[in-house]
Amino acid sequence: MSGSASPPVSPRPPVDAESRPVVQVHELTRLFGDFVAVDHVTFSVAEGEIFGFLGPNGAGKTTTIKMLTGLLAPSSGNGRVAGFDVRKASESIKTRIGYMSQLFSLYGDLTVEENIEFFAGLYDVTGSRFTARRDWVLEMAGLTKHRTQMTAQLPLGWKQRLALGCAVLHEPPILFLDEPTSGVDPVSRRAFWELIYSLSDRGTTVFVSTHYMEEAEYCNRLALMNRGRIIALDRPPALRTQMAEPILEVTVDDASTAARALQHQPGIVEAAMFGRSVHVVVEDVAAAEASIPPFLAARGITCTAILPVRPSLEDVFVSLVRREGGAVLG
């Protein structure tokens, strides 16, 4: 669940989630037979907030979004979106939200402009408003010169921006994005998040799911989800304080082998690759700093540096999952 992109701008400011909530969820649950896909989740999203849903594939993020967008009925619990009950007023909800699925929901056998026209028809965007919104989408997506190109022929990053434009063609106050950057290169992902920031700055509430840890930094608040449950919810800086154990970053010549070996070293709680180094969660910093180099050397691995580091959100996520005794799905 790691990545390499850095936040496009400074971290988002704090929000008061209770001041003007536009999404309210209480004990929302979804069963598929005996399988609990979403397990009694409770949260709220404030007007204008970028709210992140972070977790591995299979954590329940998409199922939650489908319930909130009126595409799937909850098994139990309650939810309101834009003031409407998700159980009783799903059609009213659909007119007040934008939704971008993992597959982008574009038609490859239509041109760029024809896709925009199709979604304009769905959202009843007509006349001069359609002309203005179509031109905005083309400019926003950088596709003005490609308006007659078949959508199937577009690079993935262009399809992504076009799908976003179609999702907000009717200027909805709430936007749901389900894994919108999955499979997209880091440059396109960064450009996409700059577009999300632009929409948020105009007052749009954005609910976005992702399995990219670094994208969590872009959100006002973040819910960490695993096995259908929310295991933590707060601002990214506050979530880092939930990491109880100290972390050392160990620079070695073979990170993969070192991570596997260190998992069995006494005094080490967790060891995992982090780029070309290894993040090691330890019980005692001084003892670990003294024992790790000779432990690795005995196994033919050269350790060139050991430094205490601030926990990443990935470190926090793994720690929280381990604390609850469950394995990360992926």
Rounded distance between C-alpha atoms, residue 156 and residue 152, angstroms = 9
CA angle 68, 32, 90 (to 5 degrees): 25
* pLDDT for res 102: 79
The percentage of residues in the chain with a pLDDT greater than 90, rounded to a whole number, is 70
Rg (C-alpha) for the chain, rounded Å, is 22
* pLDDT for res 234: 94
Neighbours of 33 (CB within 10 A): 5
Q: What is the CATH topology of the domain spanning 21-238?
A: Rossmann fold (3.40.50)
Would the CA dihedral through 192, 225, 237, 48 be positive or negative?
A: positive
| The residue type at 199 | L
pLDDT tens string 243-294: 878 999 999 999 999 999 999 889 999 898 888 899 999 999 999 999 999 9
| The residue type at 163 | A
Name the token pair of 87: 């159980």
DSSP 173: S
Residue numbers of the chain with a pLDDT score lower than 50: 1-9, 327-330
* pLDDT for res 240: 87
Rounded distance between C-alpha atoms, residue 258 and residue 296, angstroms = 7
CA atoms within 13 A on the CB side of 287: 9
Please report, for the chain, the start and end positions of each structural domain, with discontinuous segments joined by +.
21-238, 247-310
How remote is the C-alpha of 264 from its chain's centroid? 32
Alpha helices in 52-185 (DSSP H): 61-68, 90-94, 112-122, 127-141, 156-167
Locate tokens 């010549």: which residue?
253
Which residue, 184, 320, 183, 303, is CA-closest to 242? 320
| The residue type at 182 | S
Rounded to the nearest 5°, which phi and psi values hold at 36? -95, 100
* pLDDT for res 159: 92
Query: Is 247-310 a CATH 3.30.565.60 domain?
Result: no
